[in-house]
Amino acid sequence: MKYSEYKEHLRKIADLETAIAVLHWDKEVNLPIHGAGPRSQQIATLSGMAHEMGTSEKFGQQLQALSEDQSLSKEEQKNVALTLKDYTRKKKLDLEFVLAMSKATSAAYHSWRKAREENNFDPFQEPLAGLIELKKQETDKLGYEEHPYDALMEYFEPGARVADIDILFKDVKSQLTLLAAKIREKSNIDNEFLYQKYPYQKQWDFGLELLKNMGYDFDRGRQDVSPHPFTISFSPMDVRVTTHVDENNLSSMAWSCIHEGGHALYEQGLNIENFGLPLGQATSLGIHESQSRLWENNVGRSRFYWSAHYSSLQKIFPDQLSSINLDQFYQGINKIEPSLIRIESDELHYHLHILIRYELEKALIEGNLKVSELREAWNAKYKEYLDVEVPDDNHGVIQDIHWAHGSIGYFPTYSLGSFYAAQFFEKAKSDIPGLENQIAQGDNKALLDWLRKNIHQHGRMYTANELCEKVCGEPLSLKYFMDYAEQKFGEIYHL
């Protein structure tokens, strides 16, 4: 097999996976309710075809032979090595299982939508239980050395292990809980101005301007509305985002746009010449999340960022914001207070939301928690970790879409992303003199160029840990996030 034939084969698989992605995008944006059943079958059919192409015995033999070809360049060798690794992993899952998983996730998604409409976990419970059983089977098929959850995290954060994540979250819990407790001793900040009536269309138009200012290329993407904001890429030439608009909560739309915009910039920054190949894919979801959290929090919740945008926001919403100055706005959008909804949480308590999901997922996969017990366990942990009472299921166990997608093992990447983001942004400030002043003038080009050069262009050339060491000269360290949080919130709350 020549390298050119290898590329052609992978791109045919990518074409199928892109078609599946288009169907998923349409499912969450446009699909009429009665289209759910046929759509599930369509996705399952294409998933089976892609799996067969990617796991055929002939392709495996060709990959093995190609991996021994010393005439290939360093990048070509890396592509082949990563593809062989992916092939070996996929080969462990038979076609029957892949089709069963595809149908189960489609059924779970539509049941989740129904549960959300009814504000009731019950319609989602049985499909989720079936999905969890399949996930347990998947861990056995894939294999693992220490913990079954490791096998599922490998999809999203290659190399991540429960043993290491447990230690990280232990530090997160102790250090963030202490900082949050200090803040709660202070008089709290008023952010009621965020919860007035903000007309839909004006919010939507402002969100588009925020995306454009970040550098999101609308000639290679678009924004739509979905129940849960997401980013999806069909190629670097077509990367789409969705947002959620709540007319009574300005935060919901604005930071969803910025967050998803960060994901989209990463996808638009991948090398189109490597489309369909490993080096045309993101390093890991932790690194992916670092891009969204960097833009959302390190930039998008900073005073210097809103120095460039707040006057425009005031002009759009004069009745709501004319009496609120920039300092009040900055403090308001950074209010620290336990909450029920993960995507609306502040930067500190957010990681307790993630910890709760991580612990519940582990228990489900271990078999120490039944899906029928999930609502009760969720509510108990929110009381224990955040001291809040969960009033209903939409504010509780069915608020996230991830389990409906079968994305078990995904949640830890959110916290990893925040920690990578703090470390990367500190390095960017060191490399770009006056970066914060540039952003305060509405100029994000230098930051985006830095991210393109140091993060986006590499694809999967490096693991997350290798990339962090290459960019920052050291491994991931919680220290950078804690330094950032203590300085920022220390100033806001006069600690």
pLDDT in tens, 67-100: 999 999 999 999 999 999 999 999 999 989 988 9
Boundary (domain end) residue, out of 103, 131, 156: 156
Verify that 170 and 128 share a domain, yes or no.
no
Q: pLDDT-derived band of residue 36, with 50, 70 and 90 as boundaries?
A: confident
Of the candidates 372, 377, 404, 371, the residue with the CA atom closest to the CA atom of residue 390: 377
HEC string for 222-244: CEEECCCCCEEEEECCEEEEEEC
Range of the structural domain that residue 372 is part of: 162-493
Q: pLDDT-derived band of residue 228, with 50, 70 and 90 as boundaries?
A: confident
Boundary (domain end) residue, out of 103, 124, 156: 156
Give the HSE-up count for residue 396: Cα atoms under 13 Å, Cβ half-sphere.
22
The DSSP bridge pattern shows strands 223-225 and 231-235 to be unpaired
Verify that 152 and 170 share a domain, yes or no.
no
Of the candidates 269, 168, 166, the residue with the CA atom closest to the CA atom of residue 214: 269
Q: Which of 157, 260, 347, 361 is catalytic?
A: 260
User: What is the structure's pLDDT at 231?
Assistant: 96
pLDDT of 40 strictly over 90: no
Q: Who's near 197: CB < 8 A, 6+ residues apart?
A: 247, 248, 320
User: What is the structure's pLDDT at 188?
Assistant: 80
User: What is the structure's pLDDT at 369?
Assistant: 97
Verify that 151 and 169 share a domain, yes or no.
no
The DSSP bridge pattern shows strands 231-235 and 238-243 to be antiparallel
- Helix or strand or coil: residue 114? helix
**Lookup result for tokens 């079968």:** 406
* Span 261-271, average pLDDT: 98
Judged on CB neighbours under 10 Å (0-12, 13-18, 19+), 437 is exposed
Verify that 297 and 383 share a domain, yes or no.
yes
pLDDT in tens, 445-463: 999 999 999 999 999 999 9
Measured over the CA atoms of residue 215, residue 156, residue 9 and residue 280, the dihedral's sign is: positive
pLDDT in tens, 381-412: 999 999 999 999 999 999 999 999 999 999 99
Q: pLDDT-derived band of residue 437, with 50, 70 and 90 as boundaries?
A: very high
Verify that 168 and 238 share a domain, yes or no.
yes
Verify that 475 and 391 share a domain, yes or no.
yes
Q: What is the pTM of this model?
A: 0.91
pLDDT of 1 strictly over 80: no
Q: pLDDT-derived band of residue 186, with 50, 70 and 90 as boundaries?
A: confident
Q: How far apart are CA 269 and CA 355, in angstroms?
A: 31
User: What is the structure's pLDDT at 5?
Assistant: 94
pLDDT of 312 strictly over 80: yes
* Span 121-127, average pLDDT: 97
The CATH number for 294's domain is 1.10.1370.30
- Helix or strand or coil: residue 52? helix
With pLDDT > 70 as the criterion, what percentage of the chain qualifies? 100
Verify that 141 and 172 share a domain, yes or no.
no
User: What is the structure's pLDDT at 328?
Assistant: 97
User: What is the structure's pLDDT at 126?
Assistant: 96
Contact 142, 93 (CB under 8 A): yes
pLDDT of 44 strictly over 90: no
pLDDT in tens, 280-289: 999 999 999 9
pLDDT in tens, 313-349: 999 999 999 999 999 999 999 999 999 999 888 999 9
Our answer to whether residue 267 is catalytic in this structure is no
How many domains is the chain partitioned into structurally? Answer: 2
Verify that 203 and 315 share a domain, yes or no.
yes
With pLDDT > 90 as the criterion, what percentage of the chain qualifies? 90
Count the neighbouring beta carbons within 10 Å of the beta carbon of residue 26: 13
Verify that 139 and 166 share a domain, yes or no.
no
Average pLDDT, the chain: 95
* Span 98-112, average pLDDT: 91
Q: pLDDT-derived band of residue 33, with 50, 70 and 90 as boundaries?
A: confident
* Span 298-313, average pLDDT: 98
Verify that 329 and 188 share a domain, yes or no.
yes
Boundary (domain end) residue, out of 122, 141, 156: 156
pLDDT of 187 strictly over 80: no
**Lookup result for tokens 């060191």:** 430
Verify that 67 and 208 share a domain, yes or no.
no
Q: pLDDT-derived band of residue 279, with 50, 70 and 90 as boundaries?
A: very high
Cα dist from 205 to 174, 228, 403, whole Å: 41, 19, 31
Q: pLDDT-derived band of residue 60, with 50, 70 and 90 as boundaries?
A: very high
User: What is the structure's pLDDT at 422?
Assistant: 98
User: What is the structure's pLDDT at 75?
Assistant: 96
pLDDT in tens, 133-160: 999 999 999 999 999 999 999 999 999 9
Contact 408, 361 (CB under 8 A): yes
Verify that 309 and 175 share a domain, yes or no.
yes
